[in-house]
Amino acid sequence: MSEYNTVFVGLDVHKESISVAYAPDERETEVNYVGQIGTRHCDIDKMVRQLQSKAPQVLFAYEAGPCGYWLYRYLSGKGLSCVVVAPSLIPRKSGDRVKTDRRDCVSLARLLRSGDLTPEYIPQIQDEAVRDLTRAREDGLSDLKASKLRLKSFLLRHEIRYQGTANWGPAHLRWLADKVALPTTAQRIVFQEYLRAVTQHTERLDRIQEQLHEQVTHWRMAPLVEAYQGLRGVQFQVAATASAELGDLRRFDKPRQLMAYVGLHPSEHSSGGVRRQGGIAKTGNTHAGRVLIEAAWAYRYLAKVSRQIQERQEKLPPAIRDIAWKAQLRLCTRFRRLSARGKNPNVVVTAIARELVAYMWAIAQQVQLPAVS
């Protein structure tokens, strides 16, 4: 006969080990530390059998981390309930300065029992695959930028300056190939290696972007990516990244919940009759926040449906085009008004990005996605 009705299990997951603790459903009962197990499936199956002998219902929780969602998917595939929680949302005592694997899993079990853990959104396998591709593109952009900076810094140290109007265009590349002359063999080797690195990173980025277009075409969230592009500033790369990082926005009941999820809402420390608001919270998805900020800069100009936007909106229904135009009218006006009040440009563009994601939420309500298989 089982000892309890339900046990709440906290897991502290690492590369080679998992620390396990469980809390019975009786609140006055202490949390029990089981110990460490391996990460093989047979080790997990043995742990599950031991816990199921104590209660017919077993609930698991662990922190999101570098090990990803494989454990969640494995436990869910066996019909078990499991939640993954963001480390930043786990309640902690301010004076607690001791951190061990045992204390972490015991704390997770206790908080899971008390209902104080906030589950994280778990993407589907295909959604996570597209997200990995968008992040690989972001890494490629960062590597390309760094390689270009190294080459330009090297040339500047040797008093070689490009006098053209645009860097890295055809004229600049011809100048690098024909006009750069260095006095020593070692310096010429360094120059060629730096130039080759720029070329390789450019080709790598092109390959990733080509694959991203191909994968999104067959993705279940392709209708959302296409619909988001009806908005000004939201081109393919921004739409694909936002969709991959944020998932289906229809799961949010209100746009304010989405703003908080992205981390673009202002921080606040109010007490009594005094209200104090600070900078943005920055607690959300940094990848999504970056592309939204990038898109928000497009609203510093007057509202206008350009030829590029018209081409992106051709196949979109009138309801989505109307939302996109309302977004332009409001956000372009708001950008100018905030700038006229002397607000810092970074503050202005963050406020625009916060409202832009709300219009993306409104567009998502108009899109029908295929059911998840």
Q: Is residue 371's pLDDT more than 80? A: no
Compute the distance between CA of residue 365 and CA of residue 223 in angstroms, rounded to an integer.
12
Compute the distance between CA of residue 82 and CA of residue 72 in angstroms, rounded to an integer.
6
Contacts of 216-223 with C-beta under 8 Å, sequence gap 24+, read: 216/130, 216/240, 219/126, 219/127, 219/130, 220/124, 220/126, 220/127, 220/369, 220/370, 220/372, 221/127, 221/130, 221/248, 221/369, 223/367, 223/368, 223/369
Q: Is residue 121's pLDDT more than 80? A: yes
User: Each residue of 46-92: pLDDT tens digit?
Assistant: 999 999 999 999 999 999 999 999 999 999 999 999 999 998 888 88
- Mean pLDDT over residues 226-241, rounded? 96
Contact call for residues 22 and 31 (beta carbons, < 8 A): yes
Contact call for residues 16 and 39 (beta carbons, < 8 A): yes
Place of tokens 């567009």: 363
Place of tokens 């988001």: 228
Query: What is the chain's percent helix, strand, coil content, to nearest 5?
Result: 55, 10, 35
Cα angle 88, 94, 99; round to 5: 70
Q: Which residues pair with 306 in a beta bridge?
A: none
pLDDT reported for residue 281 = 66
Q: Is residue 29's pLDDT more than 70? A: yes
User: Each residue of 188-232: pLDDT tens digit?
Assistant: 999 999 999 999 999 999 999 999 999 999 999 999 999 999 999
- Mean pLDDT over residues 247-275, rounded? 83
What residue type is assigned to position 67 of the chain? C
Q: Is residue 373's pLDDT more than 80? A: no
Contact call for residues 144 and 201 (beta carbons, < 8 A): yes
What residue type is assigned to position 144 of the chain? L
Compute the distance between CA of residue 249 and CA of residue 256 in angstroms, rounded to an integer.
12
Compute the distance between CA of residue 210 and CA of residue 205 in angstroms, rounded to an integer.
9
Given strand 6-13, what is the order of strands in its sheet?
A: 32-37, 18-24, 6-13, 57-63, 81-85
Phi-psi region of 247 (alpha: psi -120 to 50; beta: other; left: phi over 0): left
Sorting pLDDT into bands at 50, 70 and 90, what band is 291?
very high
61: its two tokens:
């929780």
Compute the distance between CA of residue 133 and CA of residue 204 in angstroms, rounded to an integer.
12
Cα angle 13, 15, 20; round to 5: 30
Compute the distance between CA of residue 355 and CA of residue 330 in angstroms, rounded to an integer.
9
